[in-house]
Copies of this chain bind each other. A is one copy, B any other.
Amino acid sequence: MENKYIITIARQFGSGGREIGKALADKLQVPFYDKELITMAAKESGMDAEIFEDVDEKATNSLLYSLSMGLYSFGNSFSAMGDLPVNDRLYILQHKIIKKLAENGPCVIVGRCADYILRERDDCVNIFFHADMEYRKRRAVEVRGVDKARAEQVVNKTDKVRANYYSFYSGQKWGFAQNYDLCIDTSKLSSDEIVSLIVKYLELKK
């Protein structure tokens, strides 16, 4: 189908959001952006992608936190942003990149407050994927290679970090239904079925 929308995807860790987003982008034949946004930010800023990977989708909570994490003041390699913590630099860079990508046309963007960053546009469809804990633990182990004994802890901690990140930059609650056009429990349908449901949504919205 021809799709004219920019689809943003927020997702609980282990819900399969990334994989469903990729399958949706393939189905719609539009570009897909997830970790690619880090590489783009690195390229744009001339900084090392590895530095950004460490702080990706993590909020700067305070100056003290930034100092303790060694995130504050990264030399002059990206002087336009002065002494901003790396987290904030990455957010600003990804903010700019996401806006530009949206201007280029339909695509699928995962995470990074894209729904909030693009809130002024009327051609976005914002989706949130979630699933019950057992499902997410199983996927964390099978797909992400997380140690089984630590799976629940990793799932909870990653979600907490994502929620903080979203709340810090958007001022809104992550996972709260009213921030999204559509929220789907990914443990109740297969990936293919979820893609079909979203395609149906896009067809109806036309």
List A residues at the B interface (Cβ < 8 Å): 12, 128, 130, 132, 175-178, 180-185, 188-189, 193, 196-197, 200-201, 204-205
- Which residue of chain B has the shortest Cβ distance to A187 in the bound complex? B181
Given known pairs A201-B197, A204-B193, A204-B196, the reply for A181 and B176 (CB within 8 Å) is: no
Q: Are B177 and A189 in contact (CB under 8 A)?
A: no
Q: Which of B175, B181, B193 contacts A188 (CB 8 A)?
A: B181
- Which residue of chain B has the shortest Cβ distance to A175 in the bound complex? B177
In the complex, what distance in Å separates the CA atom of A188 from the CA atom of B201?
10
- Which residue of chain B has the shortest Cβ distance to A192 in the bound complex? B204
Contacts of A185 in B (CB 8 A): 178, 180-182
Q: Which of B182, B189, B196 contacts A183 (CB 8 A)?
A: B182
Contacts of A178 in B (CB 8 A): 12, 130, 132, 175, 185
In the complex, what distance in Å separates the CA atom of A185 from the CA atom of B125?
10
Contacts of A176 in B (CB 8 A): 175-177
